[in-house]
Amino acid sequence: MKEDYSVIGRSVPKIDARLKVTGQALYAGDLKMPNMLFGKILRSPHAHARILRIDTAEAERLPGVKAVITHKDVPAKKYGVSPARRDENIFCIDKVRHVGDKVAAVAAIDEETVYRALKLIKVDYEILPAVFDPVEAMAEGAPLIHEDFPRNINVEIHQSFGNVEEAFARAFHVRKDTFLGHRTYHCPLEPHVSLAFWEGDKVTLYATTQKAHYLQVDLARQFDLPMGKVRVVCPFIGGGFGGKAAAMGLDFAAVALSRITGRPVKMFYDRDEMFTHNRGRHRQIMELTTGVDRDGKILGVYANFIMDGGAYTGNGIATAYYAGSLLPLSYVFENFKYDMLRVYTNLPGSASQRGHGAVHPKYALESQLEMIARDLGMDSLEIRLRNRRKPDTVTVNELTVNSCKLETCIETARKRSGWDEKKGNLPRGRGIGVALGGFVSGAGYPIYRTNLPHSVALIRVNEDGSAATLYTGAVDIGQGSNTVLCQMAAEAMGFRYEDITVVSADTERSTHDFGAYSSRQTLMSGWAVKRAGGMVKERLLEAAGVMMNVKPEELDCRDAEVFVKNNPVVREPFGKIAREYFVKNGPLVGHGSYTPPKLGGDYKGGTVGTSPAYSFSAQIIEVQIDEETGEIGVEGVWDVHDSGTVINPALVHGQSHGGIYMGLGEAIWEEVKFDENGRILNPNLAEYRMPTALDVPMMDSLAVEGFEPAGPWGAKEVGEGASVPTEGAVANAILDATGVFMDSLPLTYEKIWRALKNKKRGENADPR
């Protein structure tokens, strides 16, 4: 299926690289408007408390303050991505549900005045008992966080495919472990910013969002506006990772303050506020049972999970489904049962984070599989090769897999890492571990309306054919989607990448698109762009046919030259034909859209997990453990990814490296920690220990040659998948290095040190 492409497959420079490195790129925080006010949200100091009274009078009197608003000043309706679980108000009405919950907001002429005004708002609270653990939260007599959710159960999922009990009964070996996944946070470099202004009955919001379109829908719903009266614009965005994937208090507050003051209002979350807004990865208790036959073939898996949802649902509804639905992706098994309870606690809401839902469960499965291999005396790679997903198969939970190069991924990672030489032969304290990954290439269904095209693209060639503008609603959050989509536009048109510019992520000025989540844009926005470019090319070749006196079907266009396919010396510049076209026919434009086909997996009302295509990967990690201190040195990472056709190798590697970096951080160092009152202990970049350049080795990433029939030019996911196997690979490497089975994330130095100490004691006690 290897094709000879002229633009895709090349590591062209990022379309915005120059603007970014020269500091010209304007992020939302850089934006200024005449008469602009600054705004800030007053946050709750308590984890759970009844609001008795809010007195804003003194704050309002402070010179420079233009508005102080509470729940009384905004629509009372609740928002949230799941219609059945809209549980969040712009500002709290009856009570606050976590430290940092939104109580009021101030707009004033400068930031200093805003901060002074916040201190002058008096709130009387009646402190309520709080609960911070999901199991405790479900207990009889636990404080109810949302009165309409008994036992604080926010989401309850019970799915069963095949007969897992029967499978376990006939299994040679059944292993049950309970793993703990920890709470982490995305930490995008750029904070959340919302800048709103009204023109009459129409509002514009400059927002740090991954989903301009959804935010438009949410604002329209919240403020009872037609969609056409809401414009959402994404300036340059400094990372999202799932944390900018839902409408949030800041957006609504900015819109409300701007409406009341009649002036533009800019608001941002500082680093501390970002942490208390959170919406990062869920803390989760993962009881996992796997049964295998004598040869290590997986017969059934039972996942019984409890997630700490924090105080609100948000995208967490999808997380709860993903956590189960993606488990059967990289391994084949015919019996699967999934029980999930997502539970409210008095902590900040958890939601989507890179590798949405899949990361912690995959750590559990990969760790358990490694123990099963040990139990059976099998090689780590052998058990994985035996159970690996194969192309053109359907998972037990009805996910349809087309392309799948997992075998190649595993064998390539084996070779590149030197697995065979290393495994069993490494010096003391050194170990090597493996895990497999897989992820969606976009969600099969949008959440708020079925059937709607998910992506639309429009291409307009300029008057002399020397440039073209691509309009796309896709959101470039730093991952490079604008670059990839422009490459695709150029390829489809037979044009030059260098001469394409892009207008993206503006609900008014670009086109409709669902945005950057579930690793969807390369495939979905890509299809729309391919079709738009195809329409341009078709129209161009039609005109060229007349001019060159050749049938259009005998012509092709490439690198901005139209030529006769079987006599390529006969050629004309794209620009010449385009000019003629313009003179004769008016503007040369093309458009295209993408709606996913009807996909399987419409089971039990849950559609999360169905995707037109799935990526796969194998990841091997080598560690060095300091047995005295427990310190982990990550010595090597080999990631082999099946992303189908690679559109831009440098960006694919960039995504892989970034994903692995995040995975390593979450595996070893990062954790959002709370005190006994529900306050975050480390809400800053000094104490929330992200890895530095010193912590990560050079990474070896490789994209195997593949072709996904459901993807444009055969392309599929790369954005989130590389994060999926990392925690498991690290855990397995530690196991290999130390013999210690780590069932609780993060895999900290201290935990290893304690485990090694315990093990030593055990060894001492038992001299075998």
Residues at the site binding a second copy, with contacts judged by CB under 8 A: 18-19, 22-24, 26, 30, 32-35, 197, 199-200, 226-229, 231, 262, 264, 451-453, 456, 458, 460, 462-464, 466-469, 471, 499, 501, 503, 507-509, 511-512, 531, 582-583, 586-587, 589, 591-593, 595
Does residue 746 have a cis peptide bond before it, meaning omega lies within 30 degrees of 0?
Answer: yes
* Three-state secondary structure of 581-638: HHHHHCCCEEEEEECCCCCCCCECCECCCCCCCEEEEEEEEEEEECCCCCCEEEEEEE
Beta bridge partners of 456: 593
| Secondary structure (3-state) at 266 | strand
Provide the minimum distance between the beta carbon of 24 and a second copy in the complex, in angstroms, as a whole number.
Answer: 6
CB closer to a second copy, 207 vs 369: 207
Place of tokens 């009165």: 147
Closer to a second copy at the Cβ: 480 or 678? 480
| Rounded-to-integer distance, Cα 81 and Cα 59, Å | 33
Minimum gap (Å) between residue 600 Cβ and a second copy: 21
Q: Which helix (H) or strand (E) holds 104?
A: strand 102-108
**Environment class of residue 339 by beta-carbon count within 10 Å: exposed (0-12), middle (13-18) or buried (19+)?**
middle
Distance, CA of 105 to CA of 89 (rounded, Å): 13
What is the smallest separation between the CB atom of 589 and a second copy, expressed in angstroms?
Answer: 6
- Between 323 and 500, CB nearer to a second copy: 500
Residue 452 or 570: the one with the smaller Cβ distance to a second copy is 452
User: In the complex, what is the shortest distance from the CB of residue 288 to a second copy, in angstroms, rounded to a whole number?
Assistant: 41
Least separation in angstroms between residue 566's CB and a second copy is 30
Measured from the CB atom, the residue of 13 and 633 that comes closer to a second copy is 13
Measured from the CB atom, is 238 or 348 closer to a second copy?
238
Instruction: Give bridge partners of residue 308 from the DSSP assignment.
Output: 283, 343
Tokens of 487: 């490459």
Q: Which helix (H) or strand (E) holds 127?
A: strand 122-127
Q: In this structure, what token pair is assigned to residue 679?
A: 């306050």
Closer residue to a second copy in complex, CB, 375/499? 499
Q: Please list the residues that pair with 571 across neighbouring strands.
A: 563
Please tell me the distance from the alpha carbon of residue 636 to that of residue 620, in angstroms, as a whole number: 8
CB of 408 to a second copy, least distance (A): 36
Q: What is the dihedral of CA 105, 110, 111, 113, to 10 degrees?
A: -70
The DSSP line for 715-749 is: B---TTGGGTTHHHHHHHHHHHHH-----BSS--H
Residue type, position 501, single letter: T
Residues ≥6 apart with Cβ < 8 Å to 108: 37, 38, 39, 62, 64, 65, 66, 114, 117
- Nearest distance in Å: CB 514, a second copy: 10
Minimal distance, residue 197 CB to a second copy, in Å: 7
Q: How far is the CB of 761 from a second copy (least distance, A)?
A: 60
Using CA atoms, how far apart are residues 657 and 700, in angstroms rounded to an integer?
8
- Beta strand pairing call for 95-96 and 173-181: unpaired
For tokens 């514009």, name the residue.
Answer: 204
Nearer to a second copy, 37 or 432 (CB): 37
Please answer whether residues 555 and 563 qualify as being in contact, where contact means their C-beta atoms are separated by less than 8 angstroms.
yes
DSSP code at position 330: S
Identify which of residues 199 and 766 has a Cβ nearer to a second copy in the complex.
199
- Name the minimum Å distance from CB 153 to a second copy: 35
> For 169, phi and psi rounded to 5 degrees?
-65, -35
Q: Work out how close the CB of 303 gets to a second copy at its nearest, in angstroms, rounded to a whole number.
A: 36
d(CA 656, CA 719) in angstroms, rounded, equals 7
CB of 508 to a second copy, least distance (A): 6
Distance of alpha carbon 560 from alpha carbon 571, whole angstroms? 10
Instruction: Using the minimum distance from each CB to a second copy, give the nearer residue, 363 or 527.
Output: 527
Task: State the Cα–Cα distance between residues 271 and 191, nearest whole angstrom.
Answer: 7
Q: Provide the minimum distance between the beta carbon of 464 and a second copy in the complex, in angstroms, as a whole number.
A: 5
CB closer to a second copy, 303 vs 458:
458
Asked whether 56 and 132 are in contact (CB, 8 A), the reply is no
Distance of alpha carbon 327 from the chain centroid = 17
Nearer of residues 231 and 277 to a second copy, judged by Cβ: 231
Of the pair 335, 511, the CB lying nearest a second copy is at 511
Q: Minimum distance between the CB of residue 263 and a second copy, rounded to whole angstroms?
A: 8
Query: What's at 223, amino acid-wise?
Result: F
Residue 329 or 500 having the CB closest to a second copy:
500
Structure tokens at 615: 């990526």
Cβ distance to a second copy smaller for residue 140 or 199: 199
* Closer to a second copy by Cβ: residue 435 or 578: 578
Cβ closest to a second copy, residue 124 vs residue 463? 463
Taking the C-alpha atoms of residue 333 and residue 443, their distance in angstroms, rounded to an integer, is 23
Q: Give, in order, the Cα–Cα distances in Å from 75 to each of 41, 69, 72, 88.
A: 17, 12, 8, 12
Strands of the sheet with 699-703, listed across from one edge:
430-440, 614-625, 632-642, 699-703
Helix (H, G, I), strand (E, B) or coil at 247: coil
Nearer to a second copy by Cβ, of 511 and 748: the residue is 511
What region does 364 belong to: left with phi over 0, alpha with psi -120 to 50, or beta? alpha
Shortest Cβ 456–a second copy spacing (Å) = 5
**For residue 81, what are its two tokens?**
């991505």
Burial class, 469, CB count within 10 angstroms (exposed 0-12 / middle 13-18 / buried 19+): middle
Question: Shortest gap between Cβ of 441 and a second copy (angstroms)?
Answer: 20
CB of 264 to a second copy, least distance (A): 7
Q: How far is the CB of 27 from a second copy (least distance, A)?
A: 10
Helix residue ranges, H only, 679-725: none
